[in-house]
Structure 1
Amino acid sequence: MSGLRQYFTYTNGTWVASLVAVVCFLTGVALTAHVGNTVRSELVSQNKREAVARLSEVRARLEGELSRTVAYGLGLRANVIHFANQPFEAAHYEAVAADLIEGNPVIRSIGLAPNNILRAVYPHQPNQAAIGLNYRMNTSQWPAIRRAMLERDVVIAGPLELVQGGRALLIRIPVFPPINPGQPLAERPYWGVASLVVDEAGLMKAAGVSDTANELRIEIIDKGAANPDNAHVFGGFGLLAEDGVGLPLNLPGGLNWEVLGYPRNGWVANERNIWITQLVGSLISLVFGAMAFLLISEVYKVRSMALHDPLTGLANRRLLEDRMLQFAVMSERTGNGFEIFYVDLDAFKPVNDNYGHAVGDQLLIEVSHRLQQQIRQTDTVARVGGDEFIILTPGNMRRAEKDAFLERLADRVSQMFEFSGVRIEVKASIGSASFPSDAGTIDDLLRVADSRMYAQKAKNRQKTEVAAGSGVPQTG
């Protein structure tokens, strides 16, 4: 009897231990798989951020090259205006056209059309046959020229297939010479149009744009194309159908292009390391305590990645709104509200444009440090946009206390920023709001602070003068 009881005891203990081990193992496998998928998603997101950074370089080079080419055309327009009161002579412009083409080889040809009739073209061959073309009678070219006339601005059409071979952009520059000095553009008479034929392949080469960059496939599309089948501009990968990343191009002449990127082998995370992590996690799952520690630490790690800004380490908008909701619930019980301060940097875009995104990122990191130095341990600083920050402080402030805090914030943020020999004058606009006196909901409170910040930005814009020296003008 004793032996039978020992058998059942031993058997039941084995089954219980096996069941617990199986449950722990299966739970560990499930949680580890979840963590692996989260890590995989984060790695893909990181790869996409790196791809966007590479696309930013492509965008900057292409925007600069096309703007430089348009500037050549504007120089030609100035020369035409200079001779506008004289009878048109093509010889007046041959030397200028030759210099422009020599200075910018992407320009295939230059044409001048007084009263929209092509009277001069350079080089003469193989374009001489086009002399006398009346653009008004040309259904393919007239819409862009008419648009340039009506808008009184540069219009770029294309890329178009040329009879001579290749594809090109057609830059149409309307000419409006003044009758009297200082005559407004809207009142000037129309002289005609100057046209630059820009070789598409040469433009991309001059801008250093290729269809593959660091294993990233590049494609440029025209978002303004009437027919999606004709939206392709550069590259030949059909990335619109892929899970790629894209950046809009800020181009002159009304072009609405976007540069797309997608890795040659797709968004491949390091699958080998992920599988090893999952295998190790599954084995460690047999030991409940160790597995619990590993899983909890991984969950908190992933949660922290989801709730904090990767650049500055500050809370992101999601974490900020969670804390604001908690304070709002507490306010209903205690009657104590809270304050928010909406901080927006003035003229941050020129910093990126003039010094590059690396300097802009360092400036954002420095501003986040400055804001953290001005708060208490119970306060929260969050980055909620590119150059936008919000400070959350529990408890309501008196008017004098809030004004002193605003002044301290503005003084600290506005200190000169120096990085790699660059000195940048920093300015910010700050708007504040109190809960619940200014608004009874979180969304309304954010709108109040946002509107007050923009009101402050408008005041700053009126008072600001362009700074001298090497600093960036902070004009709002």
Structure 2
Amino acid sequence: MTRNIFSGSNGTWIAAAVAAVCFLAGITVTAHVGQLVRSEMVSLHKQQAVASLSEARARLEGEINRTVAHGLGIRAYVAQFVDKSFDMDDYSQIAVDLIEENPSIRSVGLAPNNILRAVFPLEPNQSAIGLNYRLNTAQWPAIREAMMSRKVVIAGPLELVQGGSALLIRIPVFPSSYPGQAMGERSYWGVATLVLDQAELMAQSGIGDVVSGIRIGVVNKATVDSSKMVFGSPSLFEKDHVSLPLHLPGGLEWNLIGYPETGWSSAGNKIWITQLVGSLISLVFGSMAFLLISEVYKVRSMALHDPLTGLANRRLLEDRMHQLAAMCERTGAGFEIFYVDLDAFKPVNDNYGHAVGDQLLIEIGHRLHSQVRQTDTVARVGGDEFIVLTPGNMRRQEKDAFFSRLEERVAQVFEYSGARIDVMASIGSASYPGDAATVDDLLRVADGRMYAQKAKSKRDLRELPGKGLPQTG
């Protein structure tokens, strides 16, 4: 009985373990799918952010190109006065018009032979007059590049001599000596500089700190140092931002970067629906696995155990006996069987009903099991017939003692539902391989000895005065 309970419990644990594995596997797959959905939503959100950045990039590129075009206009204007001495008044009106037309331009500077001679407006930039660019280590590289390449160069933001920082558009001036003169043959006059306010440049481009919920920044692409931010908060570098390159004149290598104010969106109906459905499916599969394996163990148990007592049935008993017989051929260790048959069991069913008879059989199973070891087997092989299988051969004295314990324990009075029943049983034993060479022969030997004892018990009862068959009640 105990062995059957243990087997059922073991099957339950195995079913529970498999169900748990199925459920956890389902949850793992669900989590993975959920992560894929989250990644897809983040990717979609990033695509939307890139679209917003693309619009901002187009406006910024257009504004910078427009400002550079103004600078090229100054270069053409300067060419009118290259044959006369430098005079600030010659350039003041176009400089004022240029600043009024383009609010991004803070000031305009003219530096013949790379020495700053004129700044418009003069205040508060007067302190910069006379600056020799060749001697300024911060500003000279860009001017030298403009001279050598004969192209517009944009630098900055740089610290200004007159204070503050700004973007600087350097426009080298190469006036022609005659119409159609090739650029490579022209002489260098100097440089015109447009000083830009980057904040105003962004404003004119319609770009603020936040555009359509996206925090915006502009950074020099040539460096990853957040201190080189042209515009925006350096903290954007620490985020999983999206980035677009800016296509700008003057050698600028800028990137436009963006990150949502509230972070990338990975929440939504798709996520929780996926997780809910996945969890439910995992639970269903786990439950199905538990029920299926439980049923398999239940069917297996029913095939090998007596349904009333839960003891091993004849099939399981003979299987274990054959295993022990095979082992005996290798090790020489045999086994013992004890054939137990209840005496006068039929009157119990007739007098008290089959329900009481069934309870008596269950109780006999308990009693036999209480006398055996964990490695022993108690089996019900017939209506009121039981067999106890004990691995290993017993010595004569040990076998007699075990025989007596079984007989004494089985013969105890059985009380149930007010009925008090005297129990008697006949027991026959046999040893393998001492008494038989096969399992079938061993069973016949034990069965014969059991019936011999039963016959002897009946003769003894008839010979005793006033005795007859066992009484019930």
TM-score by length of structure 1 reads 0.55
For residue 241 of structure 1, the aligned residue among 238, 256, 269 is: 238
Alignment of 1:377-396 (within 5 A): none
Alignment of 1:328-347 (within 5 A): none
TM-superposed CA distance for 1:201, in Å, is 1.2
For residue 34 of structure 1, the aligned residue among 27, 32, 35 is: 32
| Cross-structure match for 2:44 | 46
Q: 1:86 to 1:43 in 2, by over 3 A?
A: same
Letter in 2 for 1:268: S
CA deviations over 1:228-258 (Å, ceiling 9, x no partner): 3642211114222322111111111111111
Letter in 2 for 1:206: Q
Secondary structure of the structure 2 residue equivalent to 1:281: helix
Q: Are 2:277 and 1:280 equivalent residues in the alignment?
A: yes
CA deviations over 1:362-403 (Å, ceiling 9, x no partner): xxxxxxxxxxxxxxxxxxxxxxxxxxxxxxxxxxxxxxxxxx
Residues 172 and 196 of structure 1 are in contact (CA less than 8 Å); yes or no, is this contact kept in structure 2? yes
| Cross-structure match for 1:261 | 258
TM-superposed CA distance for 1:125, in Å, is 1.6
Larger RCO (CA under 8 A, 6+ residues apart): 2
CA distance in 2, matches of 1:270, 1:257: 33
For residue 151 of structure 2, the aligned residue among 153, 159, 165 is: 153
| Cross-structure match for 2:54 | 56
| Cross-structure match for 1:215 | 213
CA distance in 2, matches of 1:46, 1:34: 18
| Cross-structure match for 2:83 | 85
Alignment gaps of 5+ in structure 1: 292-476
Residues 111 and 196 of structure 1 are in contact (CA less than 8 Å); yes or no, is this contact kept in structure 2? yes
| Cross-structure match for 1:121 | 119
Secondary structure of the structure 2 residue equivalent to 1:285: helix
Q: 1:69 to 1:138 in 2, by over 3 A?
A: same
Alignment of 1:76-225 (within 5 A): 76-162=74-160, 166-225=164-223
Residues 67 and 252 of structure 1 are in contact (CA less than 8 Å); yes or no, is this contact kept in structure 2? yes
Residues 127 and 161 of structure 2 are in contact (CA less than 8 Å); yes or no, is this contact kept in structure 1? no
Alignment gaps of 5+ in structure 2: 289-473
Q: 1:290 to 1:233 in 2, by over 3 A?
A: farther
Secondary structure of the structure 1 residue equivalent to 2:46: helix
Secondary structure of the structure 2 residue equivalent to 1:202: helix
TM-score by length of structure 2 reads 0.55
Q: 1:123 to 1:289 in 2, by over 3 A?
A: same
Secondary structure of the structure 2 residue equivalent to 1:238: helix
Residues 246 and 254 of structure 2 are in contact (CA less than 8 Å); yes or no, is this contact kept in structure 1? yes
TM-superposed CA distance for 1:28, in Å, is 2.0
Residues 37 and 270 of structure 2 are in contact (CA less than 8 Å); yes or no, is this contact kept in structure 1? no
Q: Are 2:228 and 1:231 equivalent residues in the alignment?
A: yes
Q: 1:131 to 1:166 in 2, by over 3 A?
A: closer
Secondary structure of the structure 2 residue equivalent to 1:197: strand
Aligned residues: 289
Secondary structure of the structure 2 residue equivalent to 1:80: helix
Letter in 1 for 2:232: G
CA deviations over 1:163-204 (Å, ceiling 9, x no partner): 555431111100001112211111111111111111111111
Tell me which structure has the larger Cα radius of gyration. Answer: 2
Letter in 2 for 1:262: Y
Letter in 2 for 1:258: N
CA distance in 1, matches of 2:190, 2:162: 25
CA distance in 2, matches of 1:191, 1:267: 53
Larger mean Cα displacement after TM superposition, 202-211 or 267-276: 267-276
Secondary structure of the structure 2 residue equivalent to 1:258: strand
